[in-house]
Amino acid sequence: MRTYNVLIVDDSIWIREGLIKTIDWDKIGVNIVGEAEDGHEALSIIDCSEVDIVISDIKMDYLDGLSLSRKINEKYPNIQVIIITGYDEFEFARKALRYGVSDYILKPIKEKILIKAVEKCIGVIKEKEENKEKNISIENHFKKSIPYLRQELFCNIFSGSPYIHEELRGEFSTLDIQITKELIKVYILKINRVNDTFVTLYQICKKQLEDIEDIEIIQYKTDQVVIVASQNENKQNDFYKQIFLTLVSICNHISEKYNQSITIGVGKSYCNYDKIYKSYMDAFETFSVTINEGERQVIKDVVAYIKSNYSIDLSLDMVSEHVMLNPCYLSKLFKEEMNISFSKYLINIRLEEAKKLLRNSNLKVYEISQLVGYPNYRYFSRIFKKVEKCTPIEYRDANY
């Protein structure tokens, strides 16, 4: 059974001891946690003890009962306060009610009236604790329901249920949906032949995209996983590219592991929440980017990156990181699309640039070597001769 801690505050030791000793506090489930002779001492006890109820005289030196009530109400609003007052202090007692005082008792103190006031405070405390438990239970239940409520909301949006921008703003805030930036874009991954890969696809998307902020991943119908993403206008290109390349990688993984064909649909960007459905329909109606087209776009990015960075110590790992694909998978994909390995393609790019410089400049061979990504002049010469069947100097002499 719950015991309630009571602190007695009065500048008269006789009154304090009288209240402590003459009332059977145990009978009503009360424990006297301490006594204080003024408000300052009372606050010190409250700061380091668990106090449920304070019984305080209204007139005391240093910090009176009225000031004490105000400070308790500000710092410890759950503590119940009973004020003891004389008849001539009645108006002060009424004023104390504004500071959260639960009750006030006129002197001389009558035991039954004080016990009744304490029991009233205990009833208030019990009610607050019960309500707190109920609220915690409701909050926990709501938290557990949030994933399902998010799912239901987005499914309603994708099915065409009418929403206005402000309505969705409120729903997103309540459900802690992090679609908060200026522009919104929808992606659809559609499984062309439905099997148990669908659940796998959703889980993989959750895992691979978990570090990206401002997106929601929704399992929709029996054949779709939908990604709703938002970003500020000045950052949208890199952000949406990152999502797209990650989705391409996911689809290729599913295709290789489960022999499952998946199509990617990409909607247009819009600036209001009520346009999410429109972006979804853009993606669904056109499915303009298939997985093969996505792979080709990746290789285009790789080629452009190589041509812009061949002069540095470029590696497959660096390029893989740039397009966010596994190096082994990228190597395989590059060979299939370009009919040449990554390393040979990089050599060809570098040597073609080296030949231009040999033909059209007076730069020394070691300088050209460094400009095309070969700090080691001897290695450059060896590679050049192996491919071109002549040394760089012989090539220059033959083409002047």
The DSSP-derived string for 49-61 is S--SEEEEES--S
Amino acid identity of residue 150, one-letter, is R
Residue 371 is predicted with a pLDDT of: 92
Q: What is the pLDDT of residues 101-130, one digit of tens each?
A: 888 888 888 899 999 999 999 999 998 888
Place 289 in a pLDDT band, splitting at 50, 70 and 90: very low
Distance in angstroms (rounded) separating the CA atoms of residues 388 and 355 = 10
- The residue that leads in pLDDT, 100 or 333, is 333
* Residue 368, C-beta contacts closer than 8 angstroms, at least 6 positions apart: 354, 357, 358, 361, 392
CA–CA distances in Å: residue 115 to residues 27, 103, 112, 121, 261? 10, 12, 5, 10, 77
Q: Lowest mean pLDDT of 62-71, 104-113, 191-200, name the range.
A: 191-200
Place 326 in a pLDDT band, splitting at 50, 70 and 90: low
Average pLDDT over residues 350-369: 90
Contact present, 83 and 104 (Cβ < 8 Å): yes
Contact present, 229 and 215 (Cβ < 8 Å): yes
Give the rounded percent of residues in the chain with a pLDDT score beyond 70. 91
Give burial (CB, 10 Å; 0-12/13-18/19+) of 398. Answer: exposed
What is the pTM assigned to this prediction? Answer: 0.48
Q: What is the pLDDT of residues 260-283, one digit of tens each?
A: 778 888 888 888 888 888 888 888
pLDDT above 70 for 255: yes
Residue 317 is predicted with a pLDDT of: 86
The CATH homologous superfamily of the domain defined by 4-130: Response regulator (3.40.50.2300)
Domain boundaries, the chain: 4-130, 159-289, 298-399
How many Cα neighbours within 13 Å face the side chain of 52? 20
Residue 107 is predicted with a pLDDT of: 82
Average pLDDT, the chain: 84
Single out the residue of 20, 118, 120, 107 nearest to residue 59, CA to CA. 107
Distance in angstroms (rounded) separating the CA atoms of residues 167 and 273 = 9
Amino acid identity of residue 377, one-letter, is Y
CB atoms within 10 A of CB 21: 9
Distance in angstroms (rounded) separating the CA atoms of residues 58 and 39 = 10
CATH code of the region 298-399: 1.10.10.60
Average pLDDT over residues 215-226: 85
Kindly give the interhelix angle for 342-360 and 392-399, rounded to the nearest 10 degrees.
Answer: 50
Helices (H), the chain: 13-22, 39-48, 65-75, 90-96, 111-158, 165-174, 197-208, 236-258, 276-286, 291-309, 316-323, 327-338, 342-360, 365-371, 377-388, 392-399
Give me 305's structure tokens: 């990156």
Residue 288 is predicted with a pLDDT of: 45
CA–CA distances in Å: residue 366 to residues 95, 123, 354, 381, 392? 93, 91, 11, 9, 10
CA–CA distances in Å: residue 276 to residues 153, 211, 247, 287? 12, 22, 19, 16
CATH code of the region 159-289: 3.30.70.3400
159-289 and 298-399 share one fold: no
